[in-house]
Amino acid sequence: MRETFRAIREWKWLLVGACALVLGTLGAHAQDPNASQTPAPQTPAPQTQRAPTPAPSPTPTPVNWSEDPMLKRFVFRGIGPASMGGRVDDIAAVEGNPYIYYVGLA
């Protein structure tokens, strides 16, 4: 058992150096993946008419309207995909406006 640990200690820096070399090479290649390829000559694309920009979509109908006058100001809307776990990750409030809260879910 002692011989195993001694062998690991002897080879430790060699393994660390080899890993650093491999990771450094991969990192350098990732920053400039097309360095060995010559860029193809680009010809200007013919000018075409752009399509008119679409009209902005109407505001979505709020969900879960409450009949309670105190909760009338709360408007619930979807802001993206939600997870099925239902765990709350973060809650933040706007200091200048006590009616605005942001809730992050995971």
Confidence (pLDDT) at 60: 58
Q: Where are the domains of the chain?
A: 69-105
d(CA 74, CA 68): 10
Does the structure show a pLDDT above 70 at 61?
no
Taking the model in full, what pTM does it have?
0.26
Does the structure show a pLDDT above 70 at 78?
no
What is the share, in percent, of the chain residues with pLDDT greater than 70? 47
d(CA 27, CA 33): 10
Q: 103: pLDDT confidence band, cut at 50, 70 and 90?
A: confident
d(CA 102, CA 92): 5
Confidence (pLDDT) at 24: 74
- Tens-place pLDDT, residues 18-45: 877 777 776 666 666 555 556 566 666 6
Confidence (pLDDT) at 98: 84
